[in-house]
Amino acid sequence: MENKIGKVIAYSIDPIHVKYLCPHGCINPKWKRKTVLHQHGSCGHAHNRIESRCSHCPFYKGEIEMHITDDTIRENFVLRKKQDCVVSFD
């Protein structure tokens, strides 16, 4: 078991989750031996950034640094214009 920071590139992000391919060999037998996508909360933000989380991987105990980059797939985000976000109390 390791106890350090692992750095991964996020595979995809949506308003609820950010997902990355397990770099430590997690396999899900239901997926016919495809690599597991671990997921963590995305805080509802689609912008590029680095998020730090505690790993869920049974083969890696420690912090994960998820790099959300231009290559990360954005799913189900509604892009709004600034004027669409104005709240009126009339």
Locate the domains of the chain by residue range. 5-72
Q: Is 85 helix (H, G, I), strand (E, B) or coil?
A: helix
In this predicted model, what pLDDT tens digit does every residue of 9-49 receive, in sequence order? 999 999 999 999 888 877 766 666 567 888 898 888 889 99
Mean pLDDT of 50-56: 88
CA distance 78 to 46: 10
Identify the pLDDT of residue 22.
Answer: 85
pTM, whole model, 2 decimals? 0.71
Mean local confidence (pLDDT), 37-62: 87
CA 20 – CA 72 distance, rounded (Å): 9
Q: What percent of the chain has a predicted confidence (pLDDT) above 70?
A: 73
